[in-house]
Amino acid sequence: MAIGNDPKQTLISISRCSSKVSFSPFQNPDLSRYDAAFWPGAGMRRREFIGLVSGAAAALPLAARAQEKGKLPTIGFFGNTSASGGGPWTAAFVQRLGELGWINGRTATIVYRWAEGRSETYAEAAAEFVRLKVDVIVSSGVATPAMKQATSVIPIVFTLDADPVGRGLVAALARPGGNVTGLSSQSTELVGKRLELLRDIIPDFRRLAVLTNVNFFGSAQEVAEIRTAARALGVDIVDMLEVRKPEDITPVFATLTGKAQALYVCADNLTNVFQNRINILALGARLPTMLNNQTFLPTGGFVSYGPNFPDLFRRAADYVDKILRGAKPGDLPVEQPTKFDMAVNVTVAKALGLKVPEDILARADEVIE
């Protein structure tokens, strides 16, 4: 169901079956029916009974309490890309919720909002989720500070964050505390392996170009990791392409010196949303690209290595399920990726005159031909 005329503001209802809550010796007691000072044979005053029932209701899981009030638990889902760009990840999230029993239209509602490469949407979405009184927020790591600033009460699950402790999202990975928990993407720790992969594919790999959004919080850290890994491999960074907004992407490619042998794209909401444009520009410059996930390889990306993003979103659904069943986010440890994928686009390799070694193809989780 769409809200107003904005197709981006789409509500998708999902649910799970729930067991009935019963009170012994009666089901669904109507307290107004009982005016006696004592419950028969129980030795309990009416006022004491009401207090006991109220305490029991407070201890029920969030989903059960919401259903009793006639309100479905609401999940606010904020994606840092667009509905189309984040489709595979969102599908994994929703599928896992279904496996956990949250079936469409019965006990929960998901409210989707998308950044579409615009950082100003973070605070807007956070304020809206608070206004809607959602029961849990699922957020990309880049937007989580805005969500946390907007509420210290609503549970928040972040799906992708390279350094949640360093950024102050959680107190510790093992025991986050507060109202925030989720999954760390460990993106910067994978930089060395990505450069090694380029070295194994590109003959005499010695010169690298880097594209980064300098307004992104993780930009400086990832660039520092790239410099360190490049130095260890004897690779020179000959072009540093810095962007701040979508309009910078095309002009910055005009600054290439022509010396680079590959382009490392630092992932963030801006480069993710405009990755297709980046792929086209890189192909025009005859630069094979290194990406952090395989989602954008079919549109002209060359090779990717990183966490399996759909798996991270499936595990985010596990967090949501636990929270809706009554768990506190501060007691749920931040988890690390357990699945990593490498993908290669052979079609792009051929277009650039590169031959991918057979052992690389054998190791790849996906080969695009």
The continuous run of DSSP H or E covering 113 comes out as strand 108-114
pLDDT along the chain (369 residues), means of 10: 39 38 33 31 39 37 52 90 79 92 80 86 96 95 92 95 89 96 81 96 97 90 94 97 96 96 92 92 97 90 94 96 96 94 97 96 96
Q: Determine the topology of domain 188-307+339-368 in CATH.
A: Rossmann fold (3.40.50)
Question: What pLDDT sits at residue 84?
Answer: 73
Question: What pLDDT sits at residue 364?
Answer: 97
Q: What is the DSSP string of 213-254?
A: ETTSTTHHHHHHHHHHHHHHHT-EEEEEEEESSGGGHHHHHT
Question: What pLDDT sits at residue 287?
Answer: 98
Give how far Cα 9 sits from Cα of 128, 135, 142, 212, 313, Å: 11, 18, 21, 30, 21
| Cα separation, 170 vs 52, whole angstroms | 35
| Cα separation, 331 vs 334, whole angstroms | 9
Q: Where are the domains of the chain?
A: 188-307+339-368
Question: What pLDDT sits at residue 69?
Answer: 55
CB distance 306 to 187 below 8 Å: yes
Nearest Cα to 343, choosing from 197, 229, 199? 197
Question: What pLDDT sits at residue 233?
Answer: 96
Q: 328's torsion region: left (phi>0), alpha (psi -120 to 50) or beta?
A: beta
Question: What pLDDT sits at residue 54?
Answer: 37
For residue 304 the two structure tokens come to 């990717």
Pairing status of strand 207-213 against strand 236-243: parallel
| Residue corresponding to tokens 């005009």 | 254
